[in-house]
Amino acid sequence: MIDGLDRYVREHRFFAGLKDDDIDLIAGCARNVVFKAGTYLFHTGDPADEFFLVRHGRVALEIAAPGRRPITFLTGGEGEVIGVSWLLPPYRWNFDARALELVRAIGLDAKCLRTKCDSDHDFGYEMMLRFVPLLVQRLQATRMQILDVYGKPA
Amino acid sequence: MNASADPMVPEVRRVTRVRRELADVWTLAIDPGPGGFAFTPGQFNMLYAFGVGEVAISISGDPTEPETLIHTVRDVGKVSGALARLKPGDSIGVRGPFGRGWPVADAAGSDVVVVAGGLGLAPLRPSLYRLLAERHHYGRIVLLLGARSPDGILFRRELERWRTRLDLEVEVTVDHAGSDWRGNVGVVTSLIPRAAYDPAHTVAFVCGPEIMMRYAAIELAKTGVAADAIYLSMERNMKCAIGHCGHCQFGGDFVCRDGPVATYARLGRLLAVREI
């Protein structure tokens, strides 16, 4: 483990309150990463082999369609997680993630973490307790976006 | 203004300025006549487009400047469309002000979180003017604004001015944007857990589409803000504006008389009832 990564993981809002042993397991799959403004953290269709805990900066999740400019449907910043497709097969990204400004993040090796979740179900359950609320929150936000609440009443 | 003995009789006033805010949103400045126009932030007037009809519109101007009456109107129907097409010098009927507004004075000593969605910023703007005019009475003041897209952000220049203040936190998000937008994208409720305020000593003012208000209130409550410290501004079919006709009944209340501003503690359960 690189010295200090466990501290970054422990201090990150997403993992607040995790046991030291679990922090060590996560930090063992972690590395520091930096993305310059305008560069991509990942692209649609690529293997979802690393996701990110943002420490600084903002990331736009984009969807591109032929003949249209990319649409940003979510931004994430400090204290937030970028990337959830690593959780489930086929482990491929569904969207593009682009750094809107200089982004410092902790990159987490998805395969490493999945292996630890498989071999230590208590740890895996702790991870699910973190990720399921995030997925539910994003689902609810997506519903609100689909409702187009600010549009003209029919 | 407000001098008429009969609250059902509109006073005829003149539009002095018209400003296009967004593609379908206009702000009208109206000469309130001698004596100006006193109101509480969050109150509304019944505006009469002569020959077309009357509609309830919140006051969006500065309560510390009673010499001008300001309304912001979205062209969504026959009457609001007629109001939006008024020009300087045109006459307009005004009845009001009506209803209970934001408890700005009662929030003294607390942090204040203002959550606005879309055109919901218009009824909240008078409260922000008042809060900022008496800034020393309050703790942190946070404005969280959600809009459909970057070109749907109301009062943009004013927001940019407010953003330069060191004593006001302003966060804006849009539901979707092109790749040239460098701000936040996501629903307005996502800004709530990120905002800096002390939930145990916070009063929240929320205004926007009803669904947005419902989820904003849930999110505020999740962070620890008490249900009776979360205020929502309701909108129903206001007609008489004085609690006689019953068109705006919401549960046991009339929105025009008992609202439009009321606590989430009072409204929360009713917001999920389809039949109301």
Q: Has the ipTM of the complex gone over 0.90?
A: no
Q: How many CB atoms lie within 10 A of CB B260?
A: 27
CB spacing of B147 vs A70 below 8 angstroms: no
A65 in contact with B at a CB cutoff of 8 Å?
Answer: no
Which pairs with CB-CB distance under 8 Å and at least 24 residues apart come from B214-217? B214/B271, B214/B272, B215/A140, B215/A144, B215/B187, B215/B189, B216/B115, B216/B117, B216/B188, B216/B189, B216/B192, B217/B264, B217/B268, B217/B271
CB spacing of B208 vs A79 below 8 angstroms: no
CB spacing of B76 vs A153 below 8 angstroms: yes
* Tens of pLDDT, residue by residue, chain B (276 residues): 555 578 989 999 999 999 999 999 999 999 999 989 999 999 999 999 999 999 999 999 999 999 999 999 999 999 999 999 999 999 999 999 999 999 999 999 999 999 999 999 999 999 999 999 999 999 999 999 999 999 999 999 999 999 999 999 999 999 999 988 999 999 999 999 999 999 999 999 999 999 999 999 999 999 999 999 999 999 888 888 988 888 989 888 898 899 899 999 999 888 888 887
Cis status, amide bond into A70, omega within 30 of 0: no
CB spacing of A150 vs B182 below 8 angstroms: no
Mutation choice for B interface testing from A58, A81, A149 by most B CBs within 10 A: A149
Write out pLDDT tens, residues B221-255.
999 999 999 999 998 888 889 888 889 898 888 98
Q: How distant is the Cα of B23 from the closest Cα of chain A, in angstroms? A: 12
Residues of B in contact with A74 (CB under 8 A): 185-186
Residues of B in contact with A101 (CB under 8 A): 182
CB spacing of B184 vs A150 below 8 angstroms: no
Nearest chain A residue (CA) to B208 = A150
Helix (H, G, I), strand (E, B), or coil: what is residue B4? Answer: coil
Nearest chain A residue (CA) to B145 = A150
CA dihedral of residues B107, B120, B145, B160 (deg, nearest 10) = -90
Write out pLDDT tens, residues B42-88.
999 999 999 999 999 999 999 999 999 999 999 999 999 999 999 99
CB spacing of A72 vs B179 below 8 angstroms: yes
A148 in contact with B at a CB cutoff of 8 Å?
Answer: yes
